[in-house]
Structure 1
Amino acid sequence: MSAYWLLALIPFLAGVAVTGQQGMVAVTERVVRRTARRVEGTVTGHLASREATYAALHPVVRWTGDDGVEHERAVPDTIGAHALPEGSRVRLLCVPGAPDSVTLDAPDRYRSAVVGAWAGVLLCAGTLTAVLIRIATLLPEGYGY
């Protein structure tokens, strides 16, 4: 065996990492969607931040909690400012007793996490298939039927 076999570890481990990370996001989204309360909020502005290498706008939303107290927070979702103009009404997911955990009620995060997890599984399966085919082509002629 040569050192080139170790190159197969790169896509396999990348697939494992993508599957694990996206799987955690999907499970977290599922739990939040089941336990959180849906509330209506109003976009009051946008907060600019620097995400990695690009600027992002986070909507600032005001809503009333379970206890009747009005909250206003920047939602950590990066939505285009044109998609949520000031004054627009949005649906939020708010975990009771934790107003800092508010997120926009958008099923897109769950769907993209599931697609990402499946992409990681396909990357792992594709790498294993390629390795098994390569091993099968290297077997001597005496093995087999």
Structure 2
Amino acid sequence: MSPAWLLALIPFLAGLAVTATYAVQLVTEILRRTTGNVIEATVTGHVASREATYATLHPVVSWTAPDGTAHERALPDDAPARALPEGARVRVRFDPAHPELAALDSDARHRQAVTGVCVGITLWAGTLIVVIWRLAYVLNHLREYVSWRY
């Protein structure tokens, strides 16, 4: 086998990294869903952040917790800013012990995390299967060569 097979490490390691990243997001979403409270909130504005090469608008949402504490923060969201105009009522899921982990109550982030985990597993498991298949082929060919020679 040539050293070019070491290039198989690239999709394998990339798959592991993608799986780990989205697995953390998936665990966070599951914890938010199991321990969080759902509260009605109001969009009070938008704040821009530069996530990639373009600016993204995130809704700034304010709500009052059951204990009377007022909160206002920019929440990560995949919906376009025009879908959440100022004054719109939205549902926020948050844990009173960790209000900084609040997020809009939607399935988008959960679906994104599940899809990311599946893509990551496909990358590393597919690469592993191809490498094992190739090793089995080479070892079988070598066994036939050795038995033919003697």
Above 0.5 in TM-score?
yes
* 3-state SS in 2 of match to 1:68: coil
Aligned match of 1:55: 55
How far apart are residue 141 of structure 1 and its match? 5.3
- CA distance, structure 2, for counterparts of residue 97 and residue 135 of structure 1: 52
Q: Which moved more, 1:64-73 or 1:49-58?
A: 64-73
Q: Which moved more, 1:68-77 or 1:103-112?
A: 68-77
- CA distance, structure 2, for counterparts of residue 72 and residue 132 of structure 1: 53
Aligned match of 1:84: 84
Aligned residues: 143
Q: Please, which of 127, 141, 144 is the counterpart of residue 142 of structure 1?
A: 144
Q: Is the 8 Å Cα contact of residues 59 and 79 (structure 1) preserved in structure 2?
A: no
* 3-state SS in 2 of match to 1:85: coil
Aligned match of 1:129: 129
Structure 1 residues 28, 87: CA separation in 2 closer, same or farther (over 3 Å shift)?
same
Query: What runs of 5+ residues in structure 2 fail to find an aligned partner?
Result: 146-150
Q: Is the 8 Å Cα contact of residues 78 and 108 (structure 2) preserved in structure 1?
A: no
Q: Which amino acid aligns with 2:142?
A: P
* 3-state SS in 2 of match to 1:72: strand
Identity of aligned residues (%): 55
* 3-state SS in 1 of match to 2:72: strand
The correspondence of residues 17-36 of structure 1 with structure 2, limited to 5 A, is 17-36=17-36
Query: What is the CA deviation profile of residues 2-52 of structure 1, one whole-angstrom value per residue up to 9, with x for unaligned ones?
Result: 211210111111111111111111111101111111100011111112223
Q: Is the 8 Å Cα contact of residues 57 and 79 (structure 1) preserved in structure 2?
A: no
**More helix by proportion, 1 or 2?**
2
CA RMSD between the two structures: 1.7
- Normalising by structure 1, we get a TM-score of 0.89
- Normalising by structure 2, we get a TM-score of 0.86
Aligned match of 1:42: 42
Q: Is the 8 Å Cα contact of residues 33 and 93 (structure 1) preserved in structure 2?
A: yes
Return structure 1 stretches of 4+ with deviation > 4 angstroms.
none
